[in-house]
């Protein structure tokens, strides 16, 4: 309930001050953010049985931390790829998909997605909280986020419309999900968040080439056709994953990727 209140409060405020057109534009951006979050949950949902088993057997916080880090790194690789790809190509994609009158939806979606990058790589923490039966705190925090969102968004939405509403949500999300929840994970859930963030920051060298290419494409190339869009997306994807393979992935992550590929190639070779 609190999650739904938080993610829908902006629409009600925009409907009150700007009307249905502003709500429709905001809704497109919010929908993209919704799918972005759901993808992250899909990755962590695979590990729910393992989390429950670890907590039920001995509640080993060291093992839970290792699992939290391992899943978080995998989620970061995927979620940051989607985010930076959307930053680079999202404007053309939104205009192609929804229409040029929805240009602000790109900015709204980008703002909302930026606010959930941190929680999107920590979704397994929700399942750890449930397994330990200490998830009430998160519900309380989400209720407070919704209240903060409401109070911050009203003046911003009045002045700046949908983009202002998105900024209000970003501020509330950063305070609640990125700061308070990370402290809670460390202090109460007993997940070593210092180790977690050290592991995430190990990806820093991998980001250099993709970020340079992203900025170059966005500001020095004009995407004016579906063909050029597909070609540039393909080139960018290749650079991103090659950069991560060389500079960021550990042996476990490389094996996780290479094993299915080798099995697929071996199967096709036998056939």
CA dihedral 95→100→106→108, nearest 10 degrees, is -150
DSSP, collapsed to helix, strand or coil, labels residue 4 as: helix
Contacts 24+ apart (CB under 8 A), 1-4: 2/139, 2/142, 2/143, 2/145, 2/146, 3/142
pLDDT for the residue numbered 119: 92
Q: Closest by alpha carbon to 37, among 69, 83, 68?
A: 83
The answer on pLDDT for 263 being more than 80 is no
pLDDT for 205-225, tens place per residue?
999 999 999 999 988 888 888
Question: Residue 194 corresponds to which tokens in the numbers above?
Answer: 């210092």
- Convert the pLDDT of each residue in 12-37 to its tens digit: 889 888 988 899 999 999 999 999 98
pTM of the model: 0.90
What does the alpha-carbon distance between residue 270 and residue 209 come to, in Å, rounded to a whole number?
38
User: Taking 90 as the threshold, does the pLDDT of residue 60 lie above it?
Assistant: no
- Report the pLDDT averaged over residues 181-201: 93
CA–CA gap between residue 144 and residue 149 (Å, rounded): 8
Is it the case that residue 109 has pLDDT exceeding 90?
Answer: yes
CA-to-CA distance for 81 and 209, rounded, in angstroms?
Answer: 13
Contact 207, 87 (CB under 8 A): no
pLDDT greater at residue 199 or residue 61: 199
Q: Which of 14, 6, 2, 5 is nearest to 162 (CA)?
A: 14
Residue 42 has pLDDT above 60, yes or no: yes
Taking alpha carbons only, the member of 78, 117, 80, 103 closest to residue 26 is 103
CB atoms within 10 A of CB 246: 11
DSSP for 88-106?
HHHHHHHHHHT-GGGHHHH
pLDDT at 269: 61
Higher per-residue pLDDT: 172 or 5: 172
- Within 13 Å, how many C-alpha atoms sit on residue 23's CB side? 13
Q: What is the pLDDT of residue 254?
A: 86
Confidence of residue 150 (pLDDT cuts 50, 70, 90): confident
- pLDDT for res 57: 78
């Amino acid at each position: 309930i609190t999650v739904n209140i938080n993610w829908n409060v902006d629409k009600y405020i925009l409907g009150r001050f700007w009307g249905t057109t502003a709500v429709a534009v905001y809704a497109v951006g919010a929908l993209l953010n919704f799918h972005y979050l759901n993808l992250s949950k899909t990755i962590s949902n695979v590990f729910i049985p393992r989390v429950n088993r670890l907590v039920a057997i001995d509640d080993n916080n060291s093992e839970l931390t290792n699992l939290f880090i391992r899943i978080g790194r995998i989620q970061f690789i995927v979620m940051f790829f989607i985010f930076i790809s959307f930053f680079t190509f999202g404007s053309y994609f939104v205009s192609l998909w929804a229409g040029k009158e929805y240009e602000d939806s790109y900015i709204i979606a980008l703002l909302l997605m930026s606010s959930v990058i941190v929680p999107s790589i920590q979704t397994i923490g929700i399942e750890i909280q449930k397994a330990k039966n200490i998830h009430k705190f998160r519900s309380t925090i989400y209720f407070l986020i919704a209240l903060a969102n409401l109070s911050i968004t009203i003046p911003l939405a009045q002045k700046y419309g949908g983009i202002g509403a998105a900024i209000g949500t970003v501020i509330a999300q950063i305070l609640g999900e990125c700061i308070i929840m990370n402290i809670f994970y460390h202090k109460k859930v007993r997940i070593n968040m210092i180790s977690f963030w050290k592991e995430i920051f190990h990806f820093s060298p991998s980001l250099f080439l993709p970020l340079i290419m992203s900025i170059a494409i966005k500001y020095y190339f004009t995407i004016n056709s579906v063909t050029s869009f597909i070609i540039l997306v393909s080139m960018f994807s290749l650079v991103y994953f090659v950069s991560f393979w060389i500079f960021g992935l550990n042996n476990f992550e490389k094996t996780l990727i290479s094993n299915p590929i080798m099995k697929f190639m071996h199967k096709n070779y036998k056939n």
